[in-house]
Structure 1
Amino acid sequence: MGKQIKRAMTFLGRLRRNQAGNTLAMVAAAVIPLAALIGGGVDMSRAYMAKARLQQACDAGALAGRRSMTTSAMTDTDIGEARKFFNFNFPQNTFQTDSFTPNIRSDPSLTTTVLVSADTRIPTTIMRILGFQYLNLSVSCSSKFDIGNTDVMLVLDTTGSMSSNISDGNNGTTTRIAALRQAVRAFYDTLGPGNTNTGRVRYGFMPYASNVNVGYLLPKTALVGGNSGDTWTYNTRRKAYYQDTSSTAATTCYRRYNSNSCYTNSSSAANNSGTNISASDCTSWGSSSPALSGSAPGTITKITYSTYSWNGSTSNFSGNGSRSCIRKEVTTTHTASLTSGSGWSAFWQYQAFAQPVSAYVAGTEITNPAYDDGTKSTWAGCIEEPDTISTIDSSTSSSSVPAGANDLNIDLIPDSNATRWRPFWPDVSWHRYSTPATVPAWTTWGGDQAACPTAARPLAEYASRDAAPSNDPSASSFNTYVNSLEPWGFTNHTTGMIWGARMMSPNGIFAANNGAAPNGFTISRHVIFMTDGAMTASEGNYDGWGINKLDGRLAPTGTSTSDLVTIQNKRFSIACEAAKRKGITIWVIVFASASNTTLDSCASSSDHVAVSTNAAALTTQFTTIAQNIGGLRLSQ
Structure 2
Amino acid sequence: MAKTIAPKFAALTFLARLRRNVKGNTLVIVAFAIMPLLAMVGSGLDMSRAYVARDRLQQACDAGSLAARRLLAGPTLTSDVETEARNYFNFNFPSGAFDTTPFTPVVTVPAVGTVRITATTAIPTTVMKIFGFNTLPLSITCAATQDFVGTDVVLVLDMSGSMNCPTSRPNDACGEIEQSGSKMQALRDASESLYDTLESAQNQLHNNNLRLRYGFVPYNATVNVGRLVYAKDASYIRNSAPYQTRARTGGPVYSSLNWCNAYDGSYSSYWGVCSNYWTYQQATLNTATFKTGASVPTPGGSPSTATSKWAGCIEERQTNNTTIDGGSLTTAPSDAWDLDINRLPNSDASRWAPWWPETEFDPDRRAIYTDPKYCASEASRLKEYYGDKAGFMKYLNDLQPLGGTYHDIGMIWGARFISSDGIFASATPETNNQSDPDNPRKLRGFSVRKFMIFMTDGDLSPYLDVYTTYGAEERDKRVLGTTTGNTTQLAAAQLSRHLQRFRMACNAARAQGIQLYVIAFSTTLTNDMRDCATQPSMASGITTSAALIQKFKEIGTKVGSLRVSQ
TM-score by length of 2: 0.67
Q: In 2, are the aligned partners of 1:203 and 1:461 still within 8 Å (CA)?
A: yes
Cα distance, 1:141 vs structure 2: 8.6
The equivalent residue for 2:333 is: 402
Q: Which amino acid aligns with 2:563?
A: R
Cα distance, 1:408 vs structure 2: 1.0
The equivalent residue for 2:386 is: 463
Cα distance, 1:152 vs structure 2: 1.8
The alignment status of 1:613 with 2:557, answered yes or no, reads no
The equivalent residue for 2:450 is: 525
Q: Which amino acid aligns with 1:148?
A: V
The equivalent residue for 2:374 is: 451
Cα distance, 1:64 vs structure 2: 8.2
- Pick closer, same or farther for the CA change 1:242–1:453 going to 2, 3 Å: closer
Partner SS for 1:165:
coil
Partner SS for 1:627:
helix
Cα distance, 1:596 vs structure 2: 0.7
The alignment status of 1:566 with 2:566, answered yes or no, reads no
The equivalent residue for 1:537 is: 462
Partner SS for 2:350:
coil
In structure 2, C-alpha distance between the alignment counterparts of 1:86 and 1:176, rounded to whole Å: 43
Pick from 184, 197, 203: which aligns with 1:190? 197
Matches within 5 A, 1:2-41: none
In structure 1, C-alpha distance between the alignment counterparts of 2:213 and 2:367, rounded to whole Å: 44
The alignment status of 1:240 with 2:240, answered yes or no, reads no
Matches within 5 A, 1:18-97: 55-56=57-58, 58-59=60-61, 61-62=63-64, 89-90=92-93, 94-95=97-98
Q: Higher mean Cα deviation, 561-570 or 390-399?
A: 390-399
Cα distance, 1:548 vs structure 2: 0.4
The alignment status of 1:181 with 2:192, answered yes or no, reads no
Cα distance, 1:493 vs structure 2: 0.6
The equivalent residue for 2:236 is: 222
In structure 1, C-alpha distance between the alignment counterparts of 2:550 and 2:118, rounded to whole Å: 28
The equivalent residue for 1:632 is: 562
Superposed CA offset, 1:92-128 (max 9, x none): 87346899xx9xxxx9xx9x9999999x999999xxx
The equivalent residue for 1:411 is: 342
Partner SS for 2:312:
coil
Partner SS for 1:503:
helix
Cα distance, 1:508 vs structure 2: 1.7
The alignment status of 1:484 with 2:398, answered yes or no, reads yes
- Pick closer, same or farther for the CA change 1:526–1:466 going to 2, 3 Å: closer
In structure 1, C-alpha distance between the alignment counterparts of 2:495 and 2:510, rounded to whole Å: 23
The alignment status of 1:213 with 2:224, answered yes or no, reads yes
The equivalent residue for 2:477 is: 552
Q: In 2, are the aligned partners of 1:63 and 1:143 still within 8 Å (CA)?
A: yes
The equivalent residue for 1:391 is: 322
Superposed CA offset, 1:26-77 (max 9, x none): xxxxxxxxxxxxxxxxxxx9x99999577545445458869999xxxxxxxx
Alignment length (residue pairs): 463
The alignment status of 1:381 with 2:298, answered yes or no, reads no
Q: In 1, are the aligned partners of 2:210 and 2:443 still within 8 Å (CA)?
A: no
In structure 2, C-alpha distance between the alignment counterparts of 1:161 and 1:68, rounded to whole Å: 39
- Pick closer, same or farther for the CA change 1:371–1:147 going to 2, 3 Å: farther
In structure 1, C-alpha distance between the alignment counterparts of 2:310 and 2:338, rounded to whole Å: 21
Cα distance, 1:224 vs structure 2: 0.8
In structure 2, C-alpha distance between the alignment counterparts of 1:86 and 1:536, rounded to whole Å: 56
- Pick closer, same or farther for the CA change 1:239–1:504 going to 2, 3 Å: same
Task: Judging by fraction of residues, say which structure has more strand.
Answer: 1
In structure 2, C-alpha distance between the alignment counterparts of 1:366 and 1:117, rounded to whole Å: 72
Partner SS for 2:550:
helix
Q: In 1, are the aligned partners of 2:65 and 2:142 still within 8 Å (CA)?
A: no
Superposed CA offset, 1:140-198 (max 9, x none): 99867435232222111111111111379xxx972111111121222222234223649
The equivalent residue for 1:76 is: none
Q: Which amino acid aligns with 1:568?
A: H
The equivalent residue for 1:157 is: 158
Partner SS for 1:388:
coil
Pick from 389, 394, 415: which aligns with 1:501? 415
- Pick closer, same or farther for the CA change 1:611–1:66 going to 2, 3 Å: farther
Cα distance, 1:633 vs structure 2: 2.1
The equivalent residue for 2:511 is: 581
The equivalent residue for 1:285 is: none
Matches within 5 A, 1:287-306: none
Q: Which amino acid aligns with 1:387?
A: Q
In structure 1, C-alpha distance between the alignment counterparts of 2:168 and 2:101, rounded to whole Å: 47
In structure 1, C-alpha distance between the alignment counterparts of 2:90 and 2:272, rounded to whole Å: 89
Superposed CA offset, 1:433-482 (max 9, x none): 2xxxxxx34455217xx722222122222213437xxxxxxxxx222112
Superposed CA offset, 1:506-542 (max 9, x none): 2221112222333021122222111111111010111
Q: In 2, are the aligned partners of 1:393 and 1:566 still within 8 Å (CA)?
A: no
Q: Which amino acid aligns with 1:156?
A: L
Q: Percent identity?
A: 34
Q: Higher mean Cα deviation, 456-465 or 561-570?
A: 456-465
- Pick closer, same or farther for the CA change 1:605–1:382 going to 2, 3 Å: same
RMSD over aligned Cα atoms: 5.0
Q: Which amino acid aligns with 2:382?
A: L
Partner SS for 2:377:
coil
Q: In 2, are the aligned partners of 1:183 and 1:619 still within 8 Å (CA)?
A: yes
In structure 1, C-alpha distance between the alignment counterparts of 2:535 and 2:247, rounded to whole Å: 52
- Pick closer, same or farther for the CA change 1:147–1:622 going to 2, 3 Å: farther
In structure 1, C-alpha distance between the alignment counterparts of 2:183 and 2:68, rounded to whole Å: 28
**For the pair shown, which has the larger CA radius of gyration, 1 or 2?**
1
Gaps of 5+ in 1: 1-44, 70-81, 126-136, 226-230, 246-288, 297-301, 307-330, 332-344, 434-439, 468-476
Gaps of 5+ in 2: 1-46, 72-85, 127-137, 170-178, 427-437
Q: In 1, are the aligned partners of 2:312 and 2:354 still within 8 Å (CA)?
A: yes
Q: In 1, are the aligned partners of 2:249 and 2:278 still within 8 Å (CA)?
A: yes
Q: Which amino acid aligns with 2:196?
A: D
In structure 1, C-alpha distance between the alignment counterparts of 2:409 and 2:331, rounded to whole Å: 17
Task: Judging by fraction of residues, say which structure has more helix.
Answer: 2
The equivalent residue for 2:79 is: none
TM-score by length of 1: 0.61
Q: In 1, are the aligned partners of 2:457 and 2:523 still within 8 Å (CA)?
A: yes
In structure 1, C-alpha distance between the alignment counterparts of 2:286 and 2:354, rounded to whole Å: 11
- Pick closer, same or farther for the CA change 1:210–1:427 going to 2, 3 Å: same
Q: In 1, are the aligned partners of 2:154 and 2:214 still within 8 Å (CA)?
A: yes
Q: In 2, are the aligned partners of 1:383 and 1:423 still within 8 Å (CA)?
A: yes
